[in-house]
Chain A
């Protein structure tokens, strides 16, 4: 049972254009969502997050949108740069998962390729 889904395994865009990465979730208890970027042979790097009480969070070229009713979030990168080429993981946090640091449930990732 995959609670966080990234249905597009890959995405290719031209430099300077917008990249839109999508993520769907099924667990209505998730209250915090994060995007991580991962380069080969490196660990995931935190990119941007959003709380369920918001519908938008912006940080420079990166914006995350949350649609709670649709259980959908998306990451927009504008403008896209070749250095953005990486695997992007969507993750969700459930405050009822117990523990001292809420367990993160990850999607399987989307490989973004930005072509010069």
Chain B
């Protein structure tokens, strides 16, 4: 069974731009969660989607948004990028109410 895939793997943007990251979950997994990993803060929860609806949200500003499609694929968008948004963005999928989340390789975003 194929794992969680994320595209692109690397991205360089400048301040003020916006970015869209994509995540394809493991086949059959309907829950997708997004995390931000930075050296100082570790992994921080962004949001979770299930059946195209956001079910849970972390403490991030409204510049961070996401959506999920009917095939469970998910995208997250960051608008008006700031230098502090440079991080590894990880997507994880799981079956409903499963506690084991399976992570993708992440997208490394660099904001210049």
Chain A interface (Cβ within 8 Å of chain B)?
A: 32, 34, 36, 41-46, 49, 89, 91, 93, 97-109
Question: Which single member of B4, B58, B90 contacts A103 (CB below 8 Å)?
Answer: B58
Q: How large is the interface on B (under 10, 10 to 19, 20 to 34, 35 or more residues)?
A: 20 to 34
Known A103-B48, A108-B41, A109-B42: A93·B99 in contact at CB below 8 Å? yes
Q: Is B1 interfacial (CB 8 A cutoff)?
A: no
Known A43-B106, A100-B50, A101-B33: A34·B100 in contact at CB below 8 Å? yes
- B4 → chain A, closest Cβ, in Å? 7
- How far is A41 from B94 in the complex, measured between Cα atoms in Å? 21
* Max chain B C-beta neighbours (<10 A), residue from A42, A49, A91, A104: A104
- How far is A49 from B101 in the complex, measured between Cα atoms in Å? 11
Chain B residue numbers with a CB within 8 Å of A98 are: 55-56
A44 nearest in chain B by CB position: B103
Q: Is B96 interfacial (CB 8 A cutoff)?
A: yes
Contact status A43-B99, CB under 8 Å: no
Contact status B31-A106, CB under 8 Å: no
Known A99-B50, A100-B48: A34·B99 in contact at CB below 8 Å? yes
Interface members, chain B 34-76 (any A CB < 8 Å): 35, 41-45, 48, 50-51, 55-56, 58
Contact status B100-A46, CB under 8 Å: yes
Contact status A49-B99, CB under 8 Å: yes
Contact status A100-B96, CB under 8 Å: yes
Contact status A99-B56, CB under 8 Å: yes
B108 nearest in chain A by CB position: A41
Interface members, chain B 1-44 (any A CB < 8 Å): 4, 30-31, 33, 35, 41-44
- How far is A96 from B60 in the complex, measured between Cα atoms in Å? 19
